[in-house]
A and B are shown apart, each in its own frame.
Chain A
Amino acid sequence: AQSVTQLGSHVSVSEGALVLLRCNYSSSVPPYLFWYVQYPNQGLQLLLKYTSAATLVKGINGFEAEFKKSETSFHLTKPSAHMSDAAEYFCAVSYSNYQLIWGAGTKLIIKP
């Protein structure tokens, strides 16, 4: 079965430091890939998506992700963390025309 793995249920970084959230998917077939963010007590909001165009994808709030087919990865990065980035981040993969396969999520903690 296809799966999505997010390494680390919690990631803690200092304000101003690099943010790196990892996502790996299981299939060799190139999928469509998404990162969603969930702020406390809110729904999920699309951060960015890869749909087979450029492999480096820029999203909202200074986040970006790079699709690496050889590594089956789609890691999310931000050069400098801000307190407002504290949230839970979900990676999701689409192979079919209806289903998203979700990672378990990573909570990003920003230390002052």
Chain B
Amino acid sequence: DADVTQTPRNRITKTGKRIMLECSQTKGHDRMYWYRQDPGLGLRLIYYSFDVKDINKGEISDGYSVSRQAQAKFSLSLESAIPNQTALYFCATSDHTSGSRNEQFFGPGTRLTVL
């Protein structure tokens, strides 16, 4: 079984719709992250959470919100989707005891298309 799962894996939606992407992990890690990947831009951090009560904006948080429902669950919402949010979205986890090593473990990704 995968340690980090994301649902859905693919989603096509229309401009203006609200979308939620979900992430669950069984690794027991306390930290979780949401990234988006665009061709030629690498990964950009949207939000990160150190624990259930600690949520922080990343470099590109505008137009997104998150919820940490439990240590194992971290969801990403697009309140009103727009076409330039079409991208591949990844959830990742890490363990705070890793310190600056910060090795992160990734889910399989959600491919989102906004028409």
Contacts and interface: CB of A to CB of B under 8 A. Distances in A.
A102 B96 contact: no
A105 B42 contact: yes
Contacts of A102: 42-44
A34 B103 contact: yes
A28 B92 CA distance: 27
Contacts, number: 57
B74 interface: no
A51 B99 CA distance: 11
- How large, as a class, is the contact surface on chain A? 20 to 34
Contacts of B68: none
A45 B100 contact: no
Given A43-B90, A90-B43, A104-B40, A97 B102 contact: yes
Interface of A: 9, 31-32, 34, 36, 42-46, 49, 51, 90, 94-100, 102-105
Interface of B: 4, 31, 40-45, 48, 50, 90, 92, 94, 96, 99-109
